[in-house]
Amino acid sequence: MVNFREYKIGARFFGLALGGSMTITLFMPSFDLRNVNATEVALDKQLWAGHESGFSLDDPFLTGEHRPVRVTLKTDPKTGQPMASTVAYVYPAGTPLPNGVDHPDNLGNIVEQLSRDKGRIGEATKSQGAVFLLSSEPQGDGSKQFYIENASATKGWNPEEVMKAAGDENTYHASYGKAIFVREGCWWCHTLLPEETQDWQVFGAPPMLGDFNGESPTAFGSDRKAPDILHVGSRNSSREWMMLHFFNPRLVQPHSIMPRFDYLWGPIDDKGQKIDFDKWRAEYNEYVDGKRVTPPEVPMYASNSDARALIDFVLSLK
């Protein structure tokens, strides 16, 4: 019999090294994450994204069920009087509450205390729904400490009143848009994590540790085949450009390898007219072949289309 003692020792050392590295990589940072206070970025993301922006029992097929929306208010929902532009996060009845409300200990000690005491997040319930604000408390060093405010408790705002006051033009479906981003596999090519290299010059600064508290999933991506988009809304805030890009990327970048996402428009446009995709593609091919001077016009998406939600999500990345 051949003695494989050396192989056994090597295998054990390899297992020990692998186990140790996984402990350092996965287990030890969890202590820091629970103690680091959530930043303004983290609070904003978890409020517009909701409890879970990937697969969940509340939206198993990622079709937009039970998703919060972000709105911009210009009038007070209770009185109807003009007010300074205010961003609110609306959770209709039955929508799972954000992680920072369900599990406030993940917010960090200071943010948790402020959110409980001043923000009254403990009074929010999934059955009745809630409206949240991103509020701040001045600190002794002149900085601001942000926290979650339950406006349903502090101001008496309810989801229905807030949605009515905001109107459709000031409503953003970024939460459902992120679900589409996951569903369509966009994260296979696009990352949401600039590296600490020359990425800074092109894609913006990498995120900080406290920027992920309460976010699920982070959708960092795994293999960049296309630009990082963590700050894409700051680099390009044109909704029209995004609409062209998603309908057919070759309209704005002739050599793009990105697939078309015209099917996200659904069967009708914003006027309720049926979209003739076959006709559009035939006319586009004529444009590519030089048989027409301009490409065909891209139809405006309907207000309830997947295209709108996806663009809302991409433009929220700043």
| pLDDT tens-digit readout, 169-194 | 999 999 999 999 999 999 999 999 88
Indicate if the pLDDT at residue 102 is higher than 90: yes
Q: 235: closest CA among 145, 122, 317?
A: 317
Rounded to the nearest 5 degrees, what angle is found at the Cα of 221, between the Cα atoms of 184 and 251? 55
**Confidence class of residue 209 from pLDDT cuts 50, 70 and 90?**
confident
Q: Are 162 and 152 in contact (CB under 8 A)?
A: no
CA 318 to chain centre: 11
Alpha helices, DSSP H only, in the chain?
5-22, 28-35, 40-49, 99-102, 109-117, 151-154, 159-166, 174-183, 199-203, 232-235, 239-247, 277-288, 306-316
pTM for the model: 0.87
Indicate if the pLDDT at residue 4 is higher than 60: no
Residue with tokens 């390898």: 257
Indicate if the pLDDT at residue 40 is higher than 90: yes
Rounded to the nearest 5 degrees, what angle is found at the Cα of 45, between the Cα atoms of 201 and 215? 100
Question: CA dist 71 to 91, 170, 175, 236, 295, Å?
Answer: 11, 6, 12, 21, 34
Look up residue 21 and give its DSSP letter.
Answer: H
Indicate if the pLDDT at residue 8 is higher than 90: no
Q: Determine what percent of the chain is predicted with pLDDT higher than 90.
A: 71
The predicted-structure confidence for 236-252, as pLDDT tens digits, reads as follows: 999 999 999 999 999 99
Q: Alpha-carbon distance 252 to 255, whole Å?
A: 9
| Structure-block tokens of residue 105 | 């200990």
User: Residue 234: exposed, middle, or buried by beta-carbon count in 10 A (0-12, 13-18, 19+)?
Assistant: exposed
Indicate if the pLDDT at residue 41 is higher than 90: yes
The separation between the first and the last C-alpha atoms of the chain, rounded to the nearest angstrom, is: 65
Question: CA dist 166 to 86, 94, 161, Å?
Answer: 10, 20, 9
The predicted-structure confidence for 87-97, as pLDDT tens digits, reads as follows: 999 999 999 99
